[in-house]
Amino acid sequence: MLKKSSLVLWGAALFIAWHGLLLLFLWSRPPSSSSSSSFGGEEGSRLTAQVIRLAQDAETELERQKDLLRQIRRYSQLWGRRRVRPPAPKSSPGPPDKLSPPPPVVTDAADTVLPVLVLACDRSTVRRCLDKLLRYRPSARRFPLIVSQDCGHAETAQVIASYGDAVAHIRQPDLSDIPVPPEHRKFQGYYKIARHYRWALGQVFRTFRYRAAIVVEDDLEIAPDFFEYFQAAFPLLRADPSLWCVSAWNDNGKEQMVDVSQAELLYRTDFFPGLGWLLLAELWDELEPKWPRAFWDDWMRQPEQRRGRSCVRPEVSRTMTFGRKGVSHGQFFDQYLKFIKLNDRFVPFTRLDLSYLKKEEYERVFLPKVYAAPEVKVEELQGNRRRELGAVRLQYSGRDSFKAFAKALGLMDDLKSGVPRAGYRGIVSFVYRGRRVYLAPPSDWTGYDPSWS
């Protein structure tokens, strides 16, 4: 690979030098006396025009080759990382377009390389996202930034290019419309998003061959300890097969519903949160062959994909969204999303013991805590009564009672395949009027009902 990239660089440099000499020759060459005597004025003008066109064509080609050279240099660092990666162990042969990345190698968390994949389209405000990522990133080597752009939006492309070698800028090659059922005509954007995710994640795991990746979109702003959080959670994700992602997002993370004094508190959740999340290459191996044509995030929340696994999520979100305008036309933004509290206190997660989040240990401690909390009625909560009880539990018995309680208390009340947002075993933990509340099913809960929606 080293020889190949060197040859490409030398070839591009020689090509540029040749065109530079050609331009110099054409521009500095004096007019021939024989030509002026042999041809009339009209023929001479035509010859001059041909020379000028040749020079212009050469100049255009020169600029194209310069752009090529810039791209080669930009990706040389990524190629370098691929060179030093140990070769993948031999496995059973498969189709050539289904290359598998090497399995994770147990290393110290401080040496882990976790690329951040930024999905961009036509928001020139991607600058707000990239500025914070670069501001809080502790190491360019351990957290390379890859911006994958769809849509072909020129202004957004210029913003991304303005960062130079600080980010790798890749572009979704297929910008065509997608054939959709007539009833989904207005959802064309969701189909394009799913296509972009598939292509971009394929680049990260198949082309660049990373072992894991943090995924964000161009309308997210991050907290000061965003990278610290993911660096600390990565070994946990790798060690616990009952986890399939780590998310920076709390769906019920409005400021009045979280305990900002416990910014270090993390939970397990059965709901896929997204909005800044970490996945392993092995998960992409599993998901890529059946990736959906649209609505990829709700697809992730289906039992067939989740397969009983959970994600880690924080008490206080490590991302916030500023993208009211998008394919969802601001759905939930004005009511919930713009009120999400972004953590502003750095938590040294890599110094903390996160083993309490492993399934057996978590359930050994969390479930007794929930069901030992005194049960109260929703009217008592709303009236701020029985304050002496401390943490309390509000019990729901079915879909309708969950939705009624959630709406009354300001929680997001929608369910996906029966799973409440931020819920674990049906339990949603939040703060209401300054005290901890667990909205929970009965203690003999037997599982989610996918018909709840």
Active site annotation includes 297: yes
Which domain covers residue 387, as residue numbers?
363-440
Kindly report, residue by residue over 421-442, the tens digit of the pLDDT: 999 999 999 999 999 999 999 9
Say how many CA atoms lie within 13 Å of 207 toward its Cβ. Answer: 12
Are 47 and 126 within one domain?
no
Calpha distance 266→429 (Å, rounded): 11
Are 65 and 137 within one domain?
no
Which amino acid is residue 18, in one-letter code? W
Is residue 258 a contact partner of residue 428, using CB atoms and an 8 Å limit? Answer: no
The H-or-E segment that residue 217 falls in is strand 212-217
Calpha distance 79→101 (Å, rounded): 15
Q: What is the CATH number of the domain that holds 407?
A: 3.10.180.20
Kindly report, residue by residue over 375-404, the tens digit of the pLDDT: 999 999 999 999 999 999 999 999 999 999
**Number of domains within the chain:** 3
Six-digit token string for 3: 């020889």
Residue 142 lies in a domain: yes
Task: Work out the pLDDT band at 334, boundaries 50, 70, 90.
Answer: confident
Six-digit token string for 14: 């020689």
Q: What is the CATH number of the domain that holds 290?
A: 3.90.550.10
Are 185 and 78 within one domain?
no
Collapsing DSSP states into helix, strand and coil, what is residue 182?
A: helix
By mean pLDDT, which of 3-17, 259-273, 353-367, 425-439 is the weakest? Answer: 3-17
Q: Which of 259, 297, 413, 449 is catalytic?
A: 297
Distance of CA 58 to the CA centre of its chain: 41
Residue 101 lies in a domain: no
216: alpha, beta or left, given left = phi > 0 and alpha = psi -120 to 50?
beta
Are 241 and 323 within one domain?
yes
Record the pTM: 0.77
Calpha distance 164→326 (Å, rounded): 27
Residue 445 lies in a domain: no
Nearest to 82 by CA among 200, 204, 230: 204
Q: Beta-carbon neighbour count of residue 387 at 10 Å? A: 11
Calpha distance 453→450 (Å, rounded): 7
**Buried-exposed string 342-375: b where 16+ CB fall within 10 A, e elsewhere:** bbeeebebbeeeeeebbeeebeeebbeebeebee
How far CA 156 is from CA of 46, 144, 148, 245, 312, in Å, comes to 42, 20, 11, 29, 32
Identify the residue with better confidence: 125 or 46.
125
Residue 49 lies in a domain: yes
Kindly report, residue by residue over 262-272, the tens digit of the pLDDT: 999 999 999 99
Collapsing DSSP states into helix, strand and coil, what is residue 379?
A: helix
